[in-house]
Structure 1
Amino acid sequence: MAAPTATPPGQDEGVVTPPRSRFSRAPGARREERAGWILTLPFLLLFLVFTAWPVIQSVFFSFTDIRNRDLRNPFAVDFVGLEQYTKAFADPIFRQAALNTAYFVVVGVPLTMTVALAAAVALNSGISRFRAIFRLGFYTPVITSIIAVAVVWRFLLHPDSGLVNTALAWIGIDGPNWLGSTTWAMPSLIAMATWRNFGTAMIIFLAGLQSVPVSLHEAAAIDGANAWQRFVNVTLPILRPTILFVSVTTAIGYLQFFEEPFVMTKGGPLNSTISASMFTYQQFSFGNYGYAAAISYLIFIVIVIVTAIQFRFLADRDER
């Protein structure tokens, strides 16, 4: 015979308490939820006012002919559809800026990653005693003001008194006007950008290298693999996620490069160093707000496409 079930205190016999709904919340949980919304409300308001609304408004402006004279009544402008986007492709200066940006990315990203990986490998294996000093030295340009870096590099690349041409003269080479030549101005900016930005990628690569198991290298060495074979067949496959992250972040930054030509060359000579971001800034300063918004979203679309391509070819096959 089954034992009688005890009735909980405060509950009459025969009264069945309905089970708690999975959507109901305890009073304490509701108070915590309200407190969470109250604490996040200032951020949400700032985000909506200073980020979300300007983005939505810029998308609207990119389909209009708004200029600086229309700021008093921005919603009375004419809707022109895709005219601003097609205008960009017909603009020879924008096409030149797009080609310059592509040149900067195609050359600068692999160069920056190669220099960063080489420095990381050196710090991880060959330089152990002064590793912290070298890390600091390689990373210092990243945290240095672009104005200070530009001033130093302009002195270094000065055609008459610069250290680069002076050193070339010692071995009998007449150095060019680096920043005043349509041939050498962009390579000079790429060299400066590589020197300034490889420190970040180096730190990330160094963290990835330190996660490679030593036992794998030892097993490969026992099988007769030399140092290069171990690097290609053991280290690089394990670094694939790191390489993907560095390539994506570096490419996104270089697709938006602005400070280098703005400070060093003002886009010259003959627009040979003007970038897409600098051209957007110029159009905005001229008051062509709709045109500038359209160009900025073209840059955004290119960034999305380039990132998707990098994920397609560099992501781990197991993650696809």
Structure 2
Amino acid sequence: MNSDRLIPWLFLAPALVLLGIFVLYPIAYLVYLSFTAGSFTRAGVHWVGLQNYGRLLTDPDFWQVLGNTAYFTIATVIPSLIIPLGLAVLLNRLMPIGLRDFLRTAYFIPSVTSIAAVGLGFRWLFQTDGVVNQVLTRLGLEAVPWLSSPIWAMPVLILLSVWKQIGFNLVVFLAGLQTIPQSRYEAAELDGANDWQQFWYITLPGLRSTLIFAAITTVIFTLRSFEQPYIMTGGGPLNSTSLLVFYLYEQAFAQFDFGSAAAMTIGLLLVTIGLVYVQLRVSEN
């Protein structure tokens, strides 16, 4: 009997060891670092308790970064859900199967494209003498300092992020739409329901779980955005495009303030866990 209980643990042991080494230990060490100060390049770290968390609450740069991240997240998530949902409905109902599969693949390509390559491409397009300003000039409009303006730099990052996310959500929504029985739409048409009523009373309720999944994953992907400011703006101008992950990277590897960076990472981890918990609870209902 004892040997029968031991056998499953023997099979699980390699996975549990890897989980402990590469997941549990780093998280535990991260929590420890969030209660320390100092860096590995000096005399070492020392215990400071909750000082890092308290310092973040009074740091104006941190609050500006939180505001930037909130703006970036909201402005990215909303169109990243609405646009692919509309495209998915059109592709699912109006397009032949062959053309639908082709367009689905075409829209999905940006999602698997290297963010580094895409970021360099967008930076080339939106630089002062880039293609976008050349088009504006030929149309008789003034050139816009896209990446050097505190007003316009963030919208360029948002545009890049939305463009990257649309394809993934489109595929998710198409998969969800194909689980809704066609008979519901046929019955609604017989009852005289128009396209909008069918969308509101059949499509949206049928996509409830899919919408929750897409919303949560899009928020998580957006919150962990790092490459966009790193490649395109360096967090500038005037710290206007510094996002949370980029800011904690700078705190850790430019300022060597591992304690503050760890405290920010713990906060981001808790937010992510909270979002996943909300998704699981809502999906159960």
Counterpart position of 1:281: 249
Any idea what the Cα deviations from partners look like across 1:53-96, whole Å, max 9, x if unmatched? 12111111111224224686x5xx22x22110111121111111
Q: Give the aligned residue type for 1:275.
A: L
Moved over 6 A (4+): 309-312
Measure how far apart 1:309 and its partner are.
Answer: 6.2
Q: How many correspondences in the alignment?
A: 283
**Does the CA-based 8 Å contact 1:261-1:274 persist in structure 2?**
yes
Counterpart position of 2:110: 141
Is the counterpart of residue 216 in structure 1 residue 184 in structure 2? Answer: yes
User: How far, CA to CA, are the matches of 2:50 and 2:189 in structure 1?
Assistant: 60
Counterpart position of 2:23: 51
- For the residue of structure 1 that corresponds to 2:54, the secondary structure is helix
Measure how far apart 1:311 and its partner are.
Answer: 7.0
User: How far, CA to CA, are the matches of 1:97 and 1:177 in structure 2?
Assistant: 22
Any idea what the Cα deviations from partners look like across 1:227-253, whole Å, max 9, x if unmatched? 111111110011011000000011011
> What percentage of residue pairs aligned between the two structures are identical?
37
Structure-1-length-normalised TM-score: 0.82
5 Å-filtered alignment, 1:175-254, equals 175-254=143-222
User: How far, CA to CA, are the matches of 2:42 and 2:174 in structure 1?
Assistant: 52
Is the counterpart of residue 260 in structure 1 residue 260 in structure 2? Answer: no
Identify the match of residue 61 of structure 1 among 33, 45, 50: 33
Measure how far apart 1:282 and its partner are.
Answer: 0.7
Is the counterpart of residue 87 in structure 1 residue 25 in structure 2? Answer: no
Closer, same or farther: CA 302–37 of 1 in aligned 2, 3 Å: closer
User: Which stretch has the larger CA shift, 123-132 or 110-119?
Assistant: 123-132
User: How far, CA to CA, are the matches of 1:121 and 1:156 in structure 2?
Assistant: 31
User: How far, CA to CA, are the matches of 1:272 and 1:201 in structure 2?
Assistant: 28
Q: Give the aligned residue type for 2:101.
A: A
Counterpart position of 2:260: 291
User: How far, CA to CA, are the matches of 2:77 and 2:238 in structure 1?
Assistant: 24
User: How far, CA to CA, are the matches of 1:158 and 1:229 in structure 2?
Assistant: 45
Structure-2-length-normalised TM-score: 0.91
**Does the CA-based 8 Å contact 2:119-2:227 persist in structure 1?**
no
Q: Give the aligned residue type for 2:185.
A: H
Closer, same or farther: CA 198–262 of 1 in aligned 2, 3 Å: same
Measure how far apart 1:173 and its partner are.
Answer: 2.5
Point out the structure with the larger helix share. Answer: 2
Q: Give the aligned residue type for 1:158.
A: Q
Q: Give the aligned residue type for 1:212.
A: I
Q: Which runs of 5+ in 1 are unaligned?
A: 1-23
Measure how far apart 1:156 and its partner are.
Answer: 1.6
Answer with 1 or 2: which has the greater Rg. Answer: 1
Q: Which runs of 5+ in 2 are unaligned?
A: none
**Does the CA-based 8 Å contact 1:247-1:310 persist in structure 2?**
no
Measure how far apart 1:275 and its partner are.
Answer: 0.5
